[in-house]
A and B are shown apart, each in its own frame.
Chain A
Amino acid sequence: DAKTTQPPSMDCAEGRAANLPCNHSTISGNEYVYWYRQIHSQGPQYIIHGLKNNETNEMASLIITEDRKSSTLILPHATLRDTAVYYCIVRSGGSNYKLTFGKGTLLTVNP
């Protein structure tokens, strides 16, 4: 699976959009981009995933560049409860369902 690079930490004001970047320059054509987050002392939680197109769900939006070498997770209106470590993961398609977690980005939402 392709390696991902994320900033170690970011801050965001409550109510504002949080934009979390991820670089995955070696991603191949059949690899998906997944985002999970881990709130302190809890298990990771799935947020969203995508292959080529931008995706949106009730939690977030995922913007993938046209060359697929990077992506951005957008939390449109961050709340204090969104403070967590956010993991960007690249996973092969097919039947290999392994997820390789890196260090992620610690997002701190400030009041």
Chain B
Amino acid sequence: DAGVIQSPRHEVTEMGQEVTLRCKPISGHDYLFWYRQTMMRGLELLIYFNNNVPIDDSGMPEDRFSAKMPNASFSTLKIQPSEPRDSAVYFCASRTRNEQFFGPGTRLTVL
């Protein structure tokens, strides 16, 4: 298995632009998580899904952030419009039993 796949690995954009981050979970995993990591705030859970349904989005910072999971093998995290303070590494993870498996992350830089 290739593990959790995220794309792009790096994204540089300008303030105000729309950013879409993508995640393909491990096949058969029924939970998917989106995290954000910054030096200041550490690793924060943004939202998680169970069987493609959002369960807890209390970590989503504001309405500029949205996440979808149209099917069991794909999820997106969208930021519109992006701001410099959104610069961070965004991780996607999927879960089976007791482990969360994390992807390699997307490093987002908003200029």
Using a CB–CB cutoff of 8 Å, the interface residues on chain A facing chain B are: 34, 36, 38, 42-46, 49, 87, 97-103
B103 touches A98 (CB 8 A): no
Query: Is B45 in contact with chain A by the CB < 8 A criterion?
Result: yes
Question: Nearest chain-A residue to B104 (Cβ)?
Answer: A43
**Interchain CA distance A90-B105 in the complex, whole Å:** 24
Query: How many chain-B residues does the 8 Å CB contact rule pick out?
Result: 20
Known contacts A43-B105, A46-B101; A98 and B42 CB within 8 A of each other: no
The residues in B between 31 and 78 inclusive whose CB is less than 8 angstroms from any CB of A are 31, 33, 42-45, 48, 56
| Given A36-B100, A97-B95, 15 extra CB contacts under 8 A | A43-B103, A43-B104, A43-B105, A44-B102, A46-B98, A49-B98, A87-B43, A97-B31, A97-B33, A97-B48, A97-B100, A98-B48, A98-B56, A99-B33, A101-B44
| Minimum Cβ distance to chain A for residue B103 (Å) | 6
Among B31, B91, B98, chain A packs the most CB atoms within 10 A around the CB of B98
* A99 to B101 alpha-carbon distance, docked (Å): 12
Q: Is the CB of A42 within 8 A of B48?
A: no
Most chain A beta-carbon neighbours within 10 Å: one of B4, B102, B103: B102
CB of B99 within 8 A of chain A?
yes
A98 cross-chain contacts in B, Cβ below 8 A: 45, 48, 56
Tell me the minimal C-beta distance from A63 to chain B in angstroms: 18
Q: Is the beta-carbon distance between B103 and A102 smaller than 8 angstroms?
A: no
Checking A42, A49, A87, A99 against B104 with a beta-carbon cut-off of 8 angstroms, the contacting residue is A42
Q: Is the CB of A99 within 8 A of B98?
A: no
B21 sits at the interface (CB 8 A): no
27 contacts between A and B (CB under 8 A): A36-B100, A38-B43, A42-B102, A42-B104, A42-B105, A43-B4, A43-B91, A43-B102, A43-B105, A44-B91, A44-B93, A44-B100, A45-B102, A46-B99, A46-B100, A49-B98, A97-B31, A97-B33, A97-B95, A98-B56, A99-B33, A99-B100, A100-B45, A101-B42, A101-B43, A102-B42, A103-B42
